Every structure is written in C-alpha cells, then in structure tokens.
Amino acid sequence: MIFHPYNHFLMHSNEQSTNYNLSNQEAIEKLKELAEKSGNCFFATALSGFPVTARPIILQEVDEMGILWFISSKQSAKNHEIVQDNRVALYFQNNASYEFLTLSGRATIHTEKHIVEKYWNPLATAWFDGKDDPNITMIAVKPIDSMYWETKDGKIISFMRMSFGAVTNIKTDGGIVEGKLKI
C-alpha cells in the first residue's frame, strides 16, 4: 500500500471489507444485536423451489441460545411449507445503520402454551383473537449459517469513505465490517 495522508481509509486492492468472524457467545450477541435492532426480516421457505417464497415477518426475540422466535398462524403458507421442508432463510436489513444479516437455519413449529405465553406480543391481536387463539404457533429458527455486514463508524463516515474512494479513485473498505456467525 502506498503512503497517503488518509491511510486509515485505504485498503489493499484485493480487499472488499474488514472481516470479523465470530463464534459461540460472541456470535449469539452479534446475532441478537443485529436481528433485534432490525426488528423484522424477510422469511424465506420452500428453498428447493424457484421462485423462493419470502414474506416479511416480525421477530419476537433472539433467545440466549441464538434461536430466533416468530409468531405465525397454524394456517399460514409458511407453516405448511416448514412442515414439508424445515430449511429457511432470513434476511434482515437496518437501512438507518447500514446493517445487514442473512441467516440459513432449520425451523420448528411450537404450540406449547408456555412458549406462546413467553413470546406473545399484544400487537399480534391484529391477526389473532388474543394469546389463547388456537391458530397461534411459534416458529423457532436455529441458525446453521449466518453472515453479517455493518459499518465500523456509522452510516455517515462510511458514506464519506465511499465518496472519498469514488472521487480519488483509491480503493477503500467503505468502513464495512463483514463476518460469519458460528453459533
């Protein structure tokens, strides 16, 4: 790398971003941070077919084991598709902070009263007749593979880094951090 007064913005020509792979508890904490901050995602099922079916869904929580919990209807297409093939993909995006998370995992459907009680959200009354509605299920997604992208210094600094690179034709990392989450 050549000397330049803005060396902290620069990167080697073959680099795209800073790579930080995380595992175990550190990975669970990053998953929880990014997923819960976004609050919702696209939930894709029927992954072996084309086109893949994806729909928006609200995340209830990422628990201490890194399991993601969602409220869903027993009659929903996603529940029927999970019964056929429990492989799912989740896509989270937080535009305000340039944070992104993709996750592949295995989904299980739960109807146990204590689980519904634990993850019930009063906003779900828009779709259900309260937490005792017999159509309520909870979907748990156990991550198998996950990737994240976020900015080191926030959206504005990242934008400045990318603008600097575009104007000077000097490659930068754009302030982007990416990594795998191994849970």
145-163 pLDDT, tens digit each: 999 999 866 544 455 455 5
Residue 150 falls within a domain, yes or no?
yes
Residue 15 falls within a domain, yes or no?
no
Domain that holds residue 79: 20-167+175-182
Residue 4 falls within a domain, yes or no?
no
User: Total structural domains in the chain?
Assistant: 1
Amino acid symbol at 51 = P
Model confidence, pTM: 0.80
Residue whose pair of structure tokens reads 């997604």 in the numeric block: 141
**Among 34, 71, 78, 87, which residue's Cα sits nearest to residue 55?**
78
Residue 13 falls within a domain, yes or no?
no
**Tens-place pLDDT, residues 61-105:** 999 999 999 999 999 999 999 999 999 999 999 988 889 999 999
Residue 8 falls within a domain, yes or no?
no
* CATH classification at residue 39: 2.30.110.10
